[in-house]
Structure formats: C-alpha cells, structure tokens
Amino acid sequence: MSAYSPDTIVTFSYDVKDTTNDLGDKLLCPTGRCTAVVPKAPFKTGGYFPSVFENLPEVGKTVTVSDLQLASSNPDMIAKIKVAQLEASGLKPEDLKVGQTLFLQSGMKAEVVEKTEDSITIDANPPLSRLNGAAMTLTTESSSALTSPPATTGTLSSWTSGSWSSPKYKSATFAGGCFWGVELAYQRVPGVVGTKVGYTQGRVHSPSYEAVCSGTTGHTEAVQVVYDESLVEYEDLCNLLVERLGDNVYKKNQVGNDCGTQYRSGIYPHDASQRAVAEAVIGAIDGGSGKVMTEIEDAKDFFDGEEYHQQYLMKGGQSAKKEAKETIRCYG
C-alpha cells in the first residue's frame, strides 16, 4: 500500500544493494535520485520502478526493500543464439562478452546476459529489468500532492486542470502524430517528472484506441507532461515538439506516414500564459504566413490511453534516460 495518492509528485533517493550487476546505464537516474509522478495502483504505468512506488516511505524516512521488480520483462524479448548462428551472421563469439550491447536488425538494442561455449543469450527488455530481484534502500525526500484535484470519471486525466502543492510543477499537452515517440522524447527532458499518452480535443468521454483510430471521435493522439518549471521552460517543451515535427508542421492531419484527424499535430495550452508562448513559437516558424498546420487550441479533456500504450517504447528497450541521444524508433 503506497503512502502517496496517485498523481502525487515524489522525490526519492535510492541505493541498490545485493547485486553483482554493473549498474552502468541501467538506472534511469544515475545520480541515485529521482522525481516522478506516482501512477495509479497497481503501479504498472511506465513499466519501470513498479514496486518502488508501493514501498516508498513517508517523507524523511528510509526503508530497505528486498526483491524489487524495477521493470517489466517480456520473455519473448530474451533469446538464445547458437554459435553457428552467430558465425553465419558474421559475428565472432570470442569477441562477445556479457554486458555488451548489440544492435539488432530491427534497430533495437539487446544486452548479452549469458555466454557459454555453445551459445549466447541476449535480452532486449528495458535495462532496469536486469536488476529485478535486487534490494534497494529508499528515502523519500519530498512530496507534492494535487491540491483540490478535479473529480474524474472513466479515464479522464486530472492533470489538465489540476495543480500541485508546489507551484513549480506544471502540466502541458502536446500532439505530434503517433504518441509513442513523442512521449519518449519528453521522457528524456531534464525537468520532466511525468508523462502519459492519451486522447484529447474530441467529443466522446473515455474513448478507446480503436474508436479514436476510426476518426469518428474527434480526438488526436497526444501526450501529457508534468514538468518542473524551475528546470525546464514551457517554451523549450514547445520547441521540442516543433523540432520533432520538422516539415510535418505544414501537413494537415498528418505526421510522417500517419494520416487522419487522430494524427493531427497541436499544442494545447492549459492557461493564457502557455497560449502566449505557444503562439510565439508557432508564429516564429515561418513569420506567421499561415502555412503552419500545427494547431493551437485551449486544452480540452484529456483521456488516458490504455496501459499497454504507456511508455511503450521505453518498455520495448529504448532509452528514456535524461538527455539520451539515441534515435527514437517509433515502432519497436
């Protein structure tokens, strides 16, 4: 049972114990300190730190928890490769070692986790999953709860109109085509403490992915972000969207090969100050010629997407570490 309500922002420090693993790049917060939004029980959202949230102690207290499950692990993403297969692919088994990263033909990364005379075993799951079962000492440093959280029903998000007890935390909503890649881009931004994907600017309450994809609900795939404005400015978040869109800012109801109203791009301000910034960013693209199709509309209700869509690319093995530079692959 967590000491914190969903949507509370917590800052905690941690120290991993009892593991012979090289932590290296496995930890999302290599300094041993994280700030994150507490997801709803059963704390699966994001596929990382799922058993940390339910074990976080009260502010100022420390606990040690054994057998933590730090990330979800899919057995289908673990494979044993025979030496003969490696040699047929042009790889020399003697050049491979445990802990080494391989780049697969699909573009995904996998880690060599076991090596024998006859084979190697590779794992393409999120790196944190290799630390599952470790013990961790957790200290909660601070928390910021939603103040007067709005009443929500169905999958309606409380982030759109909610505010936190610490005024430095704000929320924002963006759409840039398929929401998987957009979310991962924002996960990597220092100062962003929470992300989720879902559907906004539509006419139907709590729509499903299938309904949105039909183009009949009026929603667009979108990402909501919670950020610390003392560390990152709203303008930077707007500019990140524009950078990812590139020439797609001139396309109506299309980003890349994804077409339809559900893939329209947009910035959806939560208040007047955000709107002024968004208008300045979009207006600066081509001098306000009117050719930009990325819309600016006041944020309407945002409905959380299905669990399997949340942090999809990170759960598939792509890095969500702050300031990660690896190319984001939107389908795998």
The 10 Å Cβ neighbour count of residue 292 is 18
Pick the closest to residue 315 from 119, 81, 50 (CA basis).
50
Residue from 178, 213, 238, 330 carrying the catalytic annotation: 178
Give the DSSP letter string of 213-272: HTT-S--EEEEEEEEETTTS-HHHHHHHHHHHHGGGGG-TTEETTEESGGG-EEE--SSH
Tokens of 201: 């600017």
From residue 99, alpha-carbon distances to 22, 25, 38, 114, 121 in Å are: 8, 11, 31, 8, 11
Tokens of 108: 């995904």
Q: 78-108 burial, b if ≥16 CB within 10 A, otherwise e?
A: beebebeebeeeeeebeebeeeeeeeeeeee
Q: Verify whether residue 34 is a known catalytic residue.
A: no
As annotated, the active-site residues are: 178
